[in-house]
Amino acid sequence: MDETYDVIVLGTGLKECILSGLLSVDGLKVLHMDRNDYYGGESTSLNLVQLWKHFKGNDKPPEQLGTSREYNVDMIPKACKFNLFFMMANGSLVRILIHTGVTKYLNFKAVDGSYVYKKKKIYKVPATDVEALKSPLMGLFEKRRARKFFIYVQDYDENDPKSHEKLDLNKVTAKELISKYGLEDDTIDFIGHALALHNEDSYLAQPALNFVKRMKLYAESLARFQGGSPYIYPLYGLGELPQAFARLSAVYGGTYMLNKPECKVEFDGDGKVIGVTSEGETAKCNKVVCDPSYLSDKVKKVGKVARAVCVMSHPIPDTNDSHSAQVILPQKQLGRKSDMYVFCCSYAHNVAPKGKYIAFVSAEAETDNPEQELKPGVDLLGSVDEIFYDTYDRYVPTNDHQADNCFISASYDSTTHFETTVIDVMEIYTKITGKVLDLSVDLSAASAAEE
């Protein structure tokens, strides 16, 4: 271990493993360490016995829940405990998977349905002008207005001024753009939150370009596999992702050391990182990448996420018997400051025994009572075999990375898609390398498994 590395990465969570892979591909000498004796940190997936032990303190789950080894329950984020992410088929993470060639280590399956909550009911999310005309979310005249807006978004090309209709989306706000089409508040709700995937309403006061791009990403991803949603999900759960990027890093010369206690980051007299010490040995380095738990004095708490994980024997009601689905509950529908998310996978994605479903509910915590706070989402699930509640604190880095050469990832938020995760990864990558990651790839290189 007494060697010098360009970068030492601490923790084998998903963000850290993606960065380890990207930096190794770039030719940097990378050492990747974790205090655990397994890959993934708490981005790993648990079988039923492990899940039971984690929450119940024993390893004897009821026999009627099925065989333990057939469960793969995701443990994201790092801090704890449960979060399930879907990937946009044309989104940033899929582009990174293709860019690095990690797709050869993974198999994906399309997610069956994408839904939105309105007035205590759930509806399929319309993403095109044709779907808008068919959607029961809107009345007849609102459908026509929404159709015109969807056509504008579909036809918008940043490089073609003719498609802009004399609107500069770098100056016009999202609210001003939407008002041009006279859309109702409930329509704005599902467009902004279930299509553009904003988790609160501050986007309305910002330039409309990003809002329109996010809507186009949703529609393009939906068309990609011609399924019921724009999302794909790895077979056997998200625990496969960190391992795949770890494999990539190793192929390009990265060194992995698991079960390394303490992992103390060492600094020189000027406060710049010089290495990492574990078990009396110090590996020297120029830079350190880590999650917040490794440098707790260089982060601050910015919130808390409440989560519930449920084992069920049926799909989420009113989702057309979908084996996998996401439901977004916009903040205004619940009188909250941010959205709530409900999502599930099942034996169809090899995360549970046949006939069993794993459902999750997540939200940014606004109270100290997760059970009561998550009730609107949990109520959508119907009967559950087992339910567990959990919360975790969210942290962001406070350090000056130029001064100490420490690059700390932010805690995972409550969203159910990977776009915010990849933004953090790409920003850290650019800070380390001075380069912007080129994600202009051939998306046909990734495919989803057939039913």
pLDDT digits (tens, 9 = 90+) for 296-327: 999 999 999 899 999 999 999 999 999 999 99
Is-contact 42 50, C-beta < 8 A?
Answer: no
Is-contact 21 249, C-beta < 8 A?
Answer: yes
Across 187-312, where does the E strand assignment appear?
231-234, 255-257, 264-267, 273-278, 281-290, 299-312
The pLDDT assigned to 421 comes to 77
* Portion of the chain with pLDDT greater than 90, in percent: 57
**Contacts (Cβ under 8 Å, ≥6 apart) of 166:** none
The pLDDT assigned to 154 comes to 92
Closest CA to 34 of 343, 262, 272, 328: 262
Mean pLDDT to the nearest integer, 207-224 = 86
The pLDDT assigned to 104 comes to 84
The pair of structure tokens assigned to 267 is 């600094």
CA distance 352 to 338: 30
The pLDDT assigned to 76 comes to 64
Angle 234-417-27 from CA coordinates, rounded to 5°:
70
pTM of the entire predicted model:
0.83
pLDDT at 75 over 80: no
User: Between β-strands 73-74 and 45-46, what pairing exists: parallel, antiparallel or unpaired?
Assistant: antiparallel
The amino acid occupying position 311 is: V
DSSP 66-85: --GGG--EE--SSSSS----
Listed ranges 50-59, 190-199, 330-339; the one with the highest mean pLDDT: 330-339
Q: In what order do the strands lie in the sheet with 299-312?
A: 121-124, 113-118, 325-329, 340-346, 357-364, 299-312, 386-397
Is-contact 382 317, C-beta < 8 A?
Answer: yes
pLDDT at 61 over 60: yes
pLDDT at 59 over 70: yes
pLDDT at 82 over 50: no
Mean pLDDT to the nearest integer, 160-168 = 94
Q: How many CB atoms lie within 10 A of CB 382?
A: 15
Q: Cα 280 to chain center, whole Å? A: 37
- Tell me the pLDDT tens digit for each residue of 369-387: 999 999 999 999 999 999 9
- Of the ranges 84-98, 177-191, 244-258, 317-331, which one carries the lowest mean pLDDT score? 84-98
Is-contact 258 35, C-beta < 8 A?
Answer: no
CA distance 139 to 143: 6
Nearest-10 crossing angle of helices 208-225, 140-155 = 90
Q: Cα 439 to chain center, whole Å? A: 18
SS3 content of the chain, % helix, strand, coil (to 5): 35, 25, 40
pLDDT at 367 over 80: yes
Is-contact 364 304, C-beta < 8 A?
Answer: yes
- Tell me the pLDDT tens digit for each residue of 342-362: 989 999 999 999 999 999 999
